[in-house]
Chain A
């Protein structure tokens, strides 16, 4: 199957996904389950990574700005920009693509190879709508909160790193954070997150839903889905940056 066929099949899949859920109550139950699996259970990794990456960004910036003519507040300014624009939305989404993407592909793929999806279809259930729509809604609604938390913790991590290392003071850092603050940057970051969340939910679902074979193929599909999700996030990031910031 060539790339064009995959793209066509992916959009055909989306057409079936975006139909009215057959039973509201079952959909709400699935949505709450997916929010927990894909969102709440990802809090730990996002908190951990954001805090330390924020710290590293601040330290790297401080170490590379050792000219006495450059004000120390620039460290806070640069860290804020890097974290809000790229590290929180893009870096965290790539991490989530690995964690959540492999989970989605393997769970749907296992359902496929153990005939659970066939069982849903025989019952007259739109299996794509039942399995994929709650995942899309859960990620698209929850990930902006997750990424916002990542931004806050990243910036906080930078402040902690400065205080512990003595490379810059907390006052300089906060002054840099407050300088030239543009609220659009947050909006830009959230828009990117929404697109990335959609990719994280749908691309692994596609790989899992159409898997053929047994457990080995499910494993291969998980790896492929993570790779493709990351590739698409990186490509989407480039075009979104060009569209929204230039």
Chain B
């Protein structure tokens, strides 16, 4: 479980995050949504330690980030898996080398053991037979799968995904969403996803946090988001005619 208390972060005197507090539960897909510039990426990067918050506390299963020694922070980072927006795969390496990289760095497993683990996670993300391909030879969807495989190869307790669907066609986006949800439930991972994709919100948003101007403006599940009368959320989520009609249909059905 990740608990965030009163998180503040700014750059060059401009405050981006203005006191965000929330909780992310294990085994659930937690989504962060909001307009561009609302602070989603800064929030996510603060959670994974790429930005140092100016104020506030992040607790990873009781371990407070600001009280951790460098060794504890390093240990924590080995428990974090991250899927970057652009996949951030090492393009000079093959699929197999990418997935085995964290194992090589942090475990004392033999080559055979590492390969077995890599093959297991590659099979889990449905990417068998691509071991020797360079990542630049793969499609966007396949690269995302490799990124997910690399993120879970160390059996992380926490999985963070920054817009995992960006640049993917709707069908592949749903496949990636479902894959993340399945992995989250299967391995009881605390998953936090930063997304713009409203399909993801409807499909896998077990907990959704809506950010507006660096503040948490709303919190709830994908079922609650249909019923909310929060104007900012409604304007953002139901900005397209299609989603407006979906919402109307849902509400009519409930009546």
Contact = CB atoms under 8 A, between A and B. Distances in A.
Contacts of A116: 88-91
A122 B104 contact: no
Given A114-B88, A119-B88, A124 B78 contact: yes
Q: Which of A23, A115, A121 has the most CB of B within 10 A?
A: A115
Given A22-B105, A26-B105, A118-B50, A124 B74 contact: yes
A166 to B, nearest CB: 51
A122 B77 contact: yes
Contact of A114 (B45, B86, B106): B86
Interface in B88-141: 88-91, 101-102, 104-106
Interface string B74-86: 1111101010111
Q: Which of B49, B77, B101, B105 has the most CB of A within 10 A?
A: B105
Contacts of A124: 73-78, 106
B16 interface: no
B48 interface: yes
A125 interface: yes
A115 B106 CA distance: 20
Contact of A125 (B50, B89, B105): B105
A125 B104 CA distance: 12
A123 B104 contact: no
A166 B90 CA distance: 56
Contact of A23 (B49, B76, B90, B104): B104
B84 A118 contact: yes
Contact of A118 (B78, B80, B88, B91): B88
Interface in A85-138: 114-116, 118-119, 121-125
Contacts of A25: 104
Q: Which of A22, A114, A116, A119 has the most CB of B within 10 A?
A: A119
Given A25-B104, A122-B49, A123-B105, A115 B78 contact: no
A55 B85 CA distance: 54
Nearest to A25: B104
A23 B107 CA distance: 9
Contacts of B106: 22-23, 123-124
B141 to A, nearest CB: 18
Contacts of B86: 114-115
A122 B80 contact: yes
A23 B77 CA distance: 16
Interface of A: 22-23, 25-26, 114-116, 118-119, 121-125
Task: For the complex of A and B, list the 3 residue pairs with the smallest distance between their C-beta atoms, beginning with the closest.
Answer: A124-B77, A115-B88, A119-B88
